[in-house]
Structure 1
């Protein structure tokens, strides 16, 4: 039977994610179709390949382990993996994910319903479920950013907070602050959450609020397994992607509680490269990922090129994936900032009128000047934003040539 799906997994120093991902892949159901798994290692230094070969090669006969020999980035690494694909459909899947047994079946059924699709995006939810912790105060409460969850060190993630002032060592909480605490040890256990310190204003009014019940504000919160089972929440990471008026990419539904609000198929503006399906024929026709993006915006650029073929992008809401998110690069690190800002300029240049690009380029220059001379931001981040301009300009000969070619200019 011909191979229907080729699942391309790109890895860079992701040994710590292998067990979660491959234990889930082992349990995949396939109803009348075949699939292969192509593991592309981008020259990791953490023994990822050796670990995978020893533990999973014999368990997954269809597993192909490909070594790129150097770090080709997200775009180049995935393009390299597709060269070894035999499937009719390519699925790009991040290595910091886990899939349910019915995932491929749901995608296969969806394909049969949408003959006009160009790319199909799975629905991504955060890897761990959460407990919602509210704070009630008439003034403010100060908490440590560092806590322990069942003895495991954890730093409160700002994206899992609402109505807080986030600092390096402390967060300041106001009335109706919300903090989502991840259930790092799963659901089959009780939890002890301990803050390094808690500074309250008024012992009579300041309190934790758990499931509408007020409890005294101590450093330690203990929750039994029944409470965890009844009150766990799933947060959405991506139910499709889009571009706002500033050309910033965003995740639809990001950090919303999953209450079924994205449980229907919709047409999308762009798809997230963490979990997208595309016909191999379509991928080859549009030239694959543009490797000059390296990583970030390459999936959005691919989405726009596929749409220009007259094809549509869809969300498959029943194909649900657990995703840790920013597994390969630290969010808002200097590397992350450089790639995001440089690649946004490339994306605008390639996909929008030249006048739009010039306007946005000038805006970005002014933004960088302001950041460098008038803000107290870290020097490393300021340098990354400046470097992003020169990073774009170094690639400009290619894009100017492509721009002229597209308009018939010699």
Structure 2
């Protein structure tokens, strides 16, 4: 029996699957079974799979449960040693899966890992969503080796060392089944955005490790479900990021970080309104904060459990600095230039 299940969560992605599934089948079938979990698509996704990709297994969900909920429901039906959560808009390359499996087999302390992500449309550039592994700063802002805010680097091999990171991208996330369910899987309440960072943080809290393995390379389109600049994406990012912080921050830091984030979030909101003339983005930030305040109490039990199981009073992989300060004040536009 194969030890890896590649699970592609699909929602109305017929064009992406027709374009990218052939590479997944070609470069993965020897070592992994390929499964498409359909999130109640209304296009011809299932007909395409039946007609053109008969070797691909399917799981059919009765409605759109979002990224987090969809994966949880699908993976409940999948019994393999490793899960590979793979977006439908990813082109994989020869040997990508073998390199990840070999790394995981050799490093049992590692719960999850990711390949190096390059941009499909500009193939010598890193891809925004995951690049060569991710971190968050003291106040919860995510960035990557290869991408800090909107500055995306050309891949010149500068981040080709396998490296422990704080989070691995949900676009191509390999994770042990045991570890995935040890922390309860993705938080389905998030629906989409920040859910893989929250998952990885919870694993880090248990002393498990997350890695990027850049010898494995894939190409990602990105932005397929909610493109950058969409107010709903902004709303989800702010609401979910604050929720992630509330769940996972060490007790000694929670009050301070949340106070600073309140200031920074409203600065971002008024920048959108006054400088960018974008009322939709302003409302999305404000409404994201309001939504977090309304449902915060629903996560009290989660926070108590996470903190009780924490193996350290501090976060070893969360960066101690502000990436905003590094980027805008010090002018550190790339990960290599950040002043630790």
- When normalised by structure 1's length, the TM-score is 0.68
Asked if 2 retains the 8 angstrom alpha-carbon contact of 1:38 and 1:85, the reply is no
Q: Which residue of 2 aligns with 1:22?
A: 21
C-alpha distance in 2 between matches for 1:74 and 1:84: 16
C-alpha distance in 1 between matches for 2:208 and 2:33: 26
Which of 383, 392, 406 matches 2:292? 392
Q: Secondary structure at the match of 2:94?
A: coil
Q: Which has the higher helix share?
A: 2
C-alpha distance in 1 between matches for 2:219 and 2:273: 41
C-alpha distance in 1 between matches for 2:2 and 2:256: 43
Unaligned runs of 5+ in 1: 131-233
Aligned Cα RMSD in Å?
Answer: 2.1
Q: Secondary structure at the match of 1:267?
A: strand
Which of 236, 239, 258 matches 2:126? 236
C-alpha distance in 2 between matches for 1:407 and 1:242: 20
Pair 402,25 (structure 1): closer, same or farther in 2 beyond 3 Å:
closer
Pair 30,51 (structure 1): closer, same or farther in 2 beyond 3 Å:
closer
C-alpha distance after superposition, 1:264-308 (max 9, x if no partner): 211112111111111101111110001111111111111111112
Q: How many residues are paired up?
A: 298
Asked if 2 retains the 8 angstrom alpha-carbon contact of 1:39 and 1:81, the reply is no
* 1:388 to partner: Cα distance: 0.7
Asked if 2 retains the 8 angstrom alpha-carbon contact of 1:75 and 1:295, the reply is yes
Q: Which residue of 1 aligns with 2:61?
A: 68
Asked if 2 retains the 8 angstrom alpha-carbon contact of 1:92 and 1:277, the reply is yes
Structure showing greater radius of gyration is 1
Q: Which residue of 1 aligns with 2:199?
A: 302
C-alpha distance after superposition, 1:190-230 (max 9, x if no partner): xxxxxxxxxxxxxxxxxxxxxxxxxxxxxxxxxxxxxxxxx
For residues 191-210 of structure 1, the aligned pairs below 5 Å read none
Pair 260,69 (structure 1): closer, same or farther in 2 beyond 3 Å:
same
Unaligned runs of 5+ in 2: 309-340
Whether 1:362 and 2:252 are equivalent positions in the alignment is: no
Q: Which residue of 2 aligns with 1:81?
A: 74
Asked if 2 retains the 8 angstrom alpha-carbon contact of 1:38 and 1:81, the reply is no
Asked if 1 retains the 8 angstrom alpha-carbon contact of 2:270 and 2:282, the reply is no
